[in-house]
């Protein structure tokens, strides 16, 4: 009868060898956090440039409005706050009378945006012109979700980069007192690649509407 070979124990009794084997290493949370922060900064960098934004707004009273905007995203050469600072500018390409029907929305403007870990801080929003903070959750390398409390609105925004960053898909949902007030669909096409960084920091560079 052939004897079944015993498992290797490196000269130790099997029971001792089993208990002295090297345990599986657990993931380093600090390293994971640094890697995720780096991924977020890289994702923001992929959004730099000029975008044409085709939008549909669905309001609670079943009113549906169209709006075409231009959006430019730039980066500052220095960050006065957080890991990176950006400038976000927007203005209408074709309004379809949107701003006369909904005058609370600002037709054009400019805001400074700071990436601070898993939070995005904006100097002003597109409706009330007040500062707003958003919590960031990264779904994968192409999609990010922002969750904000904008005055009395609870806002969730999904942004996904598509087709090697030639397109962006944005879905935005706004609740007031637990009721969905408006939802938005934005289909965005890249018109220009990123330009050179803005010289200085966000607090020093001039803002232009």
* Mean pLDDT of the residues in the chain: 84
What average pLDDT does the segment 88-109 reach? 96
State percent of the chain over pLDDT 90.
68
Q: Is residue 76 part of a domain?
A: yes
pLDDT digits 0-9 by tens, 125-138 = 888 778 999 999 99
| Domain enclosing residue 182, as ranges | 28-192
Give the pLDDT confidence score for residue 8 in this predicted structure: 47
Dihedral pair phi/psi, residue 115, rounded to 5°: -95, 115
Q: Distance between CA 70 and CA 72 in Å, rounded?
A: 7
Q: Rounded to two decimals, what is the model's pTM?
A: 0.78
| pLDDT higher than 60, residue 158 | yes
pLDDT digits 0-9 by tens, 17-66 = 444 444 445 555 445 444 545 789 999 999 999 999 999 999 999 999 99
Q: Is residue 163 part of a domain?
A: yes
- With CA atoms as reference, report the closest residue to 166 among 36, 61, 49: 49
Identify the CATH number of the domain in which residue 129 sits: 2.40.128.20
Q: Is residue 176 part of a domain?
A: yes
Q: How many domains does the chain have?
A: 1
Q: Is residue 86 part of a domain?
A: yes
**Alpha carbon 206 to its chain's center:** 24
What average pLDDT does the segment 74-79 reach? 93
Give the pLDDT confidence score for residue 109 in this predicted structure: 94
Q: Is residue 11 part of a domain?
A: no
3-class SS at 40? Answer: helix
Q: Distance between CA 29 and CA 72 in Å, rounded?
A: 35
pLDDT digits 0-9 by tens, 187-206 = 999 999 999 999 987 765 44
Q: Is residue 179 part of a domain?
A: yes
């Amino acid at each position: 009868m052939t004897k079944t070979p015993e498992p290797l124990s490196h000269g130790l009794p099997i029971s001792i060898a089993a208990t002295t084997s090297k345990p599986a290493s657990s993931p380093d949370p600090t390293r994971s956090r640094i890697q995720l922060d780096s991924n977020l900064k890289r994702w923001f960098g992929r959004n730099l440039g000029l975008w044409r934004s085709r939008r549909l707004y669905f309001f609670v009273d079943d009113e549906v409005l169209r709006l075409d905007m231009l959006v430019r995203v730039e980066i500052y050469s220095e960050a006065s706050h957080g890991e990176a600072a950006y400038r976000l500018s927007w203005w209408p390409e074709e309004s379809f009378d949107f701003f006369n029907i909904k005058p609370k929305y600002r037709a054009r403007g400019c805001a400074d945006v700071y990436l601070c870990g898993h939070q995005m801080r904006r100097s002003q929003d597109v409706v009330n012109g007040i500062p707003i903070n958003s919590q960031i959750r990264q779904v994968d390398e192409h999609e990010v979700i922002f969750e904000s409390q904008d005055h009395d609105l609870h806002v969730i925004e999904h942004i996904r980069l598509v087709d090697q960053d030639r397109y962006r898909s944005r879905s935005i949902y706004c609740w007031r007192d637990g009721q969905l007030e408006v939802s938005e669909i934005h289909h965005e096409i890249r018109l220009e690649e990123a330009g050179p960084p803005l010289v200085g920091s966000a607090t020093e560079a001039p803002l232009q509407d």
